Chains A and B, each alone.
Chain A
């Protein structure tokens, strides 16, 4: 009996340690795996060339990632520029002005928005945002098919909202109410208190939430792939089509085995994405983690 218990104890400790070790090593494994796979490409091309050349012709062994990097940045930055003020204002409303039931009502709305799969956002984008951008382009006299940087950014903004809003609500929740009392007692209005005290006190949290939203949006694949147009070019304006890094990887998995070095190039793209997003996550999670620890 005692032996059996000891054995069970050993076995299940082993299981715990194994699982934990697995997750701790996972990012390392991903990094190493992707580096190994894209090593061949780095032998043939210089890193600078890969990153900053605009020449993309896989069948001629030309792999310039610049157009994809630029498209990704365009789409993601535009999305965040749209989503951030929306999230900030909504978080302010829900944490400062709104009656308690409003926040209770919003929780499921945020959860469901966060739970809707990427592909559904893509469908919605095609149904709504692409025609919208197309007619907006017609009004503004811009040439566009609707499948564009702007359409992708709009869809991405909506997808990012629940994610960032949730974090902002947490940031504001952690600011002590006494700080508001102090400010109000000095004769500030609610809005002055928000402007001078809450936003300042929550600044690092707000920046982190937006930074994490950015990295989340950067890695978003299917929805963007469906509405961005997928044309390899340096986009002229928000109405141009673009081609983001995740879309590139997802869109070419079928043919990547038939062209030499193509698979290495796509894995290099994945590595790039992985490295940037991991760095962003480390940085901003760390800031949040620090401010919570205080």
Chain B
């Protein structure tokens, strides 16, 4: 009797947990399928290559080039800027603080906490600064905000790579008379650079998909920005605004834009995975 119960419990949880795991896979496929089946119909060449024209928001002609361009400008620039402030921190933790693992771990802990701050708080904070400085929404404001927001994940991803570099390499560099920064930039960076691609892509994916932080900072416009001081449209916000429209055509364009964003994220994700495998093999 007891044995029967034990066996039943074991079987039940085995199947239940397997079923739940399968269900998670199903959720992902369902999300992609829902977006794709809704968005595919409205996706057209014009959508990708035109700015919104007169009456666009009432269902007339036009596309979302403004948002596509804006998002790419924003995400690429933010990733580059973020790299510039993340790299020194990652190197510092792994070259300067290698002797002090407690301090290095305290910084890692701190960065993990920082990563927990939601993007809406970054957006709100950036907005208070912009109000204080009398700045209006602009591409550059968004770039800085997003760069800071994605930095913790980038630093931690680089850190994971740098951590694996053996201390012997550092000793060898010192023995040859290299300074600490020379060791950091010549030895560590060269060794780790290919693997950093993963960190960069990861941060890029975060940057291009986030809406709450750019809402206050980048604003929205119907034009492709021609300077970083102009406001810019972004894909997530284009989706958000268009979906709020009562006009059917505009809504379906939101689905198309959502499909586009999903495709971008999937491509980034697959690239990350491929690169990851590649660097691990070599």
Q: Contact residues of A with B, CB < 8 Å?
A: 5-6, 8-9, 12-13, 15-20, 22-24, 26-27, 29-30, 33-34, 36-37, 86, 89-90, 92-94, 97-98, 102, 106, 108-113, 115-124, 126-128, 158, 161, 165, 189-192, 194, 212, 215-216, 218-222, 226, 246, 249-250, 253, 263, 266-267, 270, 273-274, 277-278, 280-282, 285-286, 289, 293
Contact B265 A116 (CB under 8 A): yes
Smallest CB separation, B31 vs chain A (Å): 5
State the total of A-B contacts with C-beta under 8 angstroms. 253
Q: A191-B13, A222-B236 are in contact. Are A120 and B24 (CB under 8 A)?
A: no
In the bound assembly, the distance between CA atoms of A40 and B125 in angstroms comes to 16
* Cβ of A26 to closest chain B Cβ, rounded Å: 7
Cα A221 to Cα B10 with chains together (Å): 40
Cα A47 to Cα B237 with chains together (Å): 34
Report the stretch among B113-121, B164-172, B224-232 that lies at the interface.
B113-121
Contacts of B254 on A, CB cut-off 8 Å? 123
B48 at the interface (CB under 8 A from A): no
170-190 of chain B: CB within 8 A of chain A? 179-182, 184-185
Chain A residues contacting B61 (CB-CB under 8 Å) are: none
Is B273 in contact with A93, judged by CB distance below 8 angstroms?
A: no
Residues from chain A with a CB closer than 8 A to the CB of B38 are 127
**7 A-B pairs whose Cβ atoms sit less than 8 Å apart in the complex:** A23-B85, A33-B128, A34-B125, A112-B266, A119-B239, A189-B10, A249-B124
* Chain B residues in the interface with A (C-beta under 8 A): 6-7, 9-10, 13-14, 16-18, 20-21, 23-25, 27-28, 30-31, 34-35, 38, 85-86, 88-89, 91-92, 96, 105, 107, 109-114, 116-125, 127-129, 131, 148, 151-152, 155, 179-182, 184-185, 205-206, 208-212, 215-216, 236-237, 239-240, 243, 254-255, 258, 261-262, 265-266, 268-269, 272-273
* A212 cross-chain contacts in B, Cβ below 8 A: 116
Report how far A272 CA is from B265 CA in the complex, Å: 31
Once the chains are docked, how many angstroms separate the CA of A127 from the CA of B96? 51
Cross-chain contact B27 with A246 (CB below 8 angstroms): no
Nearest CB of B to A111, in Å: 6
Tell me whether B30 and A128 are in contact (CB under 8 A).
yes
Chain B facing A: main interface SS: helix
Given contacts A16-B92, A117-B210, A123-B243, contact A274 B117 (CB under 8 A): yes
**Assuming A117-B211, A119-B211, is B27 touching A37 (CB within 8 A)?**
no
Complex partner residue of B124 from A123, A124, A266, CB under 8 angstroms: A266
- Which listed residue, A89, A102, A109, A221, touches B211 by the CB 8 Å rule? A221
- B124:A267 contact, CB within 8 angstroms: yes
In the complex the two chains form, is B269's CB within 8 Å of A20's CB? no
Q: B53 CB to closest chain A CB, in angstroms?
A: 24
Cross-chain contact A109 with B28 (CB below 8 angstroms): yes
A119-B240, A222-B211, A267-B128 are known contacts. Are A285 and B265 too (CB-CB below 8 A)? no
In the assembled complex, which residues on chain B have CB atoms less than 8 Å from the CB atom of A263? 131
Residue pair B27, A123 in contact (C-beta under 8 Å): no
Q: Determine if B24 and A189 form an interchain contact, defined as CB atoms under 8 angstroms apart.
A: no
The docked-state distance in angstroms from the alpha carbon of A100 to that of B65 is 44
